[in-house]
Amino acid sequence: MKQQYQDVILQACGASSLRVGAEIQTLWSGYGEIVRLHLEGCERPSVVIKHIKFPEEAKHPGGWNTDRSHTRKVRSYHVETNWYQNYSTNQNCRIPACLAACSHGDEMLIVLEDLDGAGYDQRRTSVKDGEIKACLSWLAHFHGLFLGVAPQGLWTVGTYWHLETRPDELKAMDDAELKAAAGDIDRILNECCFKTIVHGDAKLANFCFSQNGQDVAAVDFQYVGGGCGMKDVVYFLGSCMEEKECEQRVPGLLDHYFSELRLSVKEGVDLDALEKEWRELFAFAWTDFHRFLLGWMPGHWKINRYSKRLTKEVLHKLKHQHNK
């Protein structure tokens, strides 16, 4: 690691020395790495750094190797740095504290609190009901906290799959009816009355759990930005449940989300109108992500009967509106 980066970390943490520990993960398409550093001479035994280095030649796992894809990723890291430096949450939607951030040429460094040391040292690849509810509670409190807040310095429209940033995937789609409706679906989501800031990549892998699974913290804010909270909810549920589970459990889980959202919204908001609008947009948000998958990776396991049923309902609604 460059000496200047070491100096930034030591100064930010008040440490006398550091040792590079295990790599936690490499970043998507070879854009750097996330690493744990062990510190000496300060109160913090460790920190996690996100070290971004823009590659000469990006290697995309899905084969989407375009200038547009590269530009989107570069912007996403600037957005994430902005997020950590300028936004804060509360204990109900815990995120790692940002201790320092800097950039130099084609490299960026974000120094973050080590959530493992803060009691969020569990990761899950499958989740029980209580753990799903813990994540939905996190999302509800996050959306409630930022309801009506303008996404300054973030993506104007949050989420990594939204239509404006994905023309290549739209073009690759076979489903002509959904392709034709994609613009309407995107517009309806973007024009909702109740807007918040969405996490933008709220999959199960981006949540860190406490030992008992009841408390969670979230990481990875590259696609944080404005929008309807349902985008995060559908993406999260789709990341940890198969189609049969979705059919059986989504109604109860949505009830849980909305009861938590009501607890988290500041006074003066028409809670009934908020819930009514977002419940109606649930199927639109699900269909919007389904549209992205069909263009990006048509064989993906998330393309299932549940997604197709919701898409059919949305297309039927749109047709009905147009015929009025």
- What is the residue-level pLDDT of the chain in tens, covering all 324 positions? 789 999 999 999 999 999 999 999 998 878 899 999 999 999 999 999 999 998 765 555 455 456 788 889 889 999 999 999 999 999 999 999 999 999 888 899 999 999 999 999 999 999 999 999 999 999 999 999 999 999 999 999 999 999 999 999 999 999 999 999 999 999 999 999 999 999 999 999 999 999 999 999 999 999 999 999 999 999 999 999 999 999 999 999 999 999 999 999 999 999 999 999 999 999 999 999 999 999 999 888 888 999 999 999 999 999 988 887
Domain membership flag for residue 94: yes
One domain for residues 272 and 203: yes
Residue 281 and residue 198 in contact, taking contact as beta carbons nearer than 8 Å? no
203 in the same domain as 292? yes
Taking Cα atoms as reference points, which of 113, 136, 144 lies closest to residue 214? Answer: 136
Same-domain pairing of 179 and 300: yes
Interstrand relation of 32-40 and 17-26 (parallel, antiparallel or unpaired): antiparallel
- The CATH number covering residue 242 comes to 3.90.1200.10
Same domain, 137 and 283: yes
At 170 the pLDDT is 96
Over the stretch 132-159, which tens digit does the pLDDT of each residue have?
999 999 999 999 999 999 999 999 999 9
Same domain, 105 and 160: no
**What's the DSSP call for residue 156?**
S
What pLDDT does residue 64 have? 47
Domain residue limits at 34: 3-113
Instruction: Quote the number of domains for the chain.
Output: 2
Q: Which secondary structure element, helix H or strand E, spans residue 38, and what is its range?
A: strand 32-40
Q: Is there a domain that residue 71 lies in?
A: yes
With CA atoms as reference, report the closest residue to 80 among 27, 123, 13, 131: 27
Residues 92 and 210 placed together within one structural domain of the fold: no
- Domain end (from 113, 138, 173): 113
What was the pLDDT predicted at 321? Answer: 85
Residue 118 in any domain: the answer is no
Asked if 239 and 173 sit in the same domain, the reply is yes
Q: Per-residue pLDDT tens for 64-102?
A: 456 788 889 889 999 999 999 999 999 999 999 999 999
Residue that is last in its domain, among 78, 113, 148: 113
Which alpha helices (H) appear in 129-270, and where do they start and end? 129-145, 167-172, 176-190, 230-240, 243-264
Are 252 and 135 found together in one domain? yes
In the numeric block, which tokens belong to residue 106?
A: 């084609």
Tell me: do 49 and 158 sit in the same domain.
no
122 located within any domain = no
Distances (CA, A) of 9 to 21, 107, 119, 121, 314: 14, 15, 22, 22, 50
CA angle 209, 211, 214 (to 5 degrees): 60
User: Which is nearest to 238 in space by CA: 148, 144, 159, 123?
Assistant: 159
Q: Is 188 helix (H, G, I), strand (E, B) or coil?
A: helix
Q: How many Cα atoms are found within 13 Å in the side-chain-facing hemisphere of 246?
A: 23
Residue 119 within any structural domain of the chain: no
Residue with tokens 């920190």: 47
Cα 265 from Cα 189, distance rounded (Å): 20
* CATH code (residue 96): 3.30.200.20
CA–CA distance, 169 with 184 (Å, rounded to integer): 17
Residues 6+ apart with CB under 8 A from 2: 104, 107
Q: Are residues 109 and 140 in the same domain?
A: no
How far from the centroid of its chain's Cα atoms is residue 234's Cα? 11
